[in-house]
């Protein structure tokens, strides 16, 4: 018959094994925004050079975790649902892809660009909201500016707000809706550039 000391050791070992099983960290899930195919915004501007950025995010979005909401005034941060990279860089890249499609030009670069590149137009964005509302809609609110002459000329400054329905539950549906909202913002910027014309 095992001694009391041996039994205590076995019980302690069993407790450690059970505890380690209970504290296994669940795997993280990673998401990215995706470009959306867009109809060209009027005349093709194949020789146009457009710079996208800088993109600035409201403070609560500057985190690796995806942000949702429990209510209008309460944020919900999911530790294991994360962006696949920084949200700022993802927005910049997706905007660049969308604008390239909408304007019919390959000359869309992201901030910071090489010194040899001088964009005809620079798009600077401040993202003020980019998360779900309680009514199962994703809201995007952004101020955007179209600049020229290496940032010394202001051609346009506007605030755009878009909402997109989430087509299902979960973060995959949220991110898909966010991608669609970002496409609508891209279309608004492209339409304004189309009115400004081919630049220098």
Walk along the chain (200 residues) and give the pLDDT tens digit of each residue: 556 666 556 566 666 555 555 556 778 899 999 999 766 655 567 789 999 999 999 999 999 999 888 777 888 888 889 999 999 999 999 999 999 999 999 999 999 999 999 999 999 999 999 998 878 899 999 999 999 998 899 999 999 999 999 998 889 999 999 999 999 999 999 999 999 988 65
Domain count, the chain: 1
Q: Is residue 10 part of a domain?
A: no
CB 130 within 8 A of CB 178: yes
CATH number at residue 53: 3.40.50.10610
Find, among 162, 137, 125, 130, the residue nearest to 61 by Cα. Answer: 130
Q: Is residue 14 part of a domain?
A: no
Q: Domain limits at 120? A: 29-196
**Rounded CA gap, 82 and 85, in Å?**
8
- Both tokens of residue 70? 């429990």
pLDDT for the residue 190 = 94
Residue 124 in any domain: the answer is: yes
The whole-number pLDDT of residue 78 equals 80
pLDDT at 191: 93
* Long-range contacts, stretch 163-166, CB < 8 angstroms, 24+ apart: 163/133, 163/137, 163/138, 163/139, 164/137, 164/138, 164/140, 165/136, 165/137, 165/138, 166/132, 166/136, 166/137, 166/138
């Amino acid at each position: 018959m095992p001694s009391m000391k041996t039994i205590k050791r076995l019980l302690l070992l069993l407790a450690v094994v059970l505890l380690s099983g209970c504290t296994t960290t669940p795997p993280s899930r990673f998401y990215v925004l995706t470009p959306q195919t867009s109809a060209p915004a009027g005349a093709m501007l194949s020789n146009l050079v457009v710079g996208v950025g800088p993109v600035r995010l409201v403070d609560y979005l500057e985190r690796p975790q995806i942000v949702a909401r429990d209510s209008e005034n309460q944020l919900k941060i999911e530790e294991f649902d994360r962006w696949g990279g920084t949200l700022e860089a993802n927005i910049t890249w997706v905007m660049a892809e969308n604008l390239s499609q909408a304007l019919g030009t390959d000359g869309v670069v992201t901030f910071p660009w090489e010194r040899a590149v001088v964009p005809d137009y620079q798009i600077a964005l401040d993202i003020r909201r980019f998360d779900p509302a309680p009514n199962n809609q994703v809201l995007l609110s952004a101020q955007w500016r179209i600049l020229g002459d290496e940032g010394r000329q202001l051609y346009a400054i506007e605030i755009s707000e878009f909402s997109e329905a989430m087509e299902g539950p979960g973060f995959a549906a949220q991110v898909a809706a966010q991608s669609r909202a970002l496409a609508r913002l891209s279309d608004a910027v492209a339409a304004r550039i189309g009115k400004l014309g081919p630049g220098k």
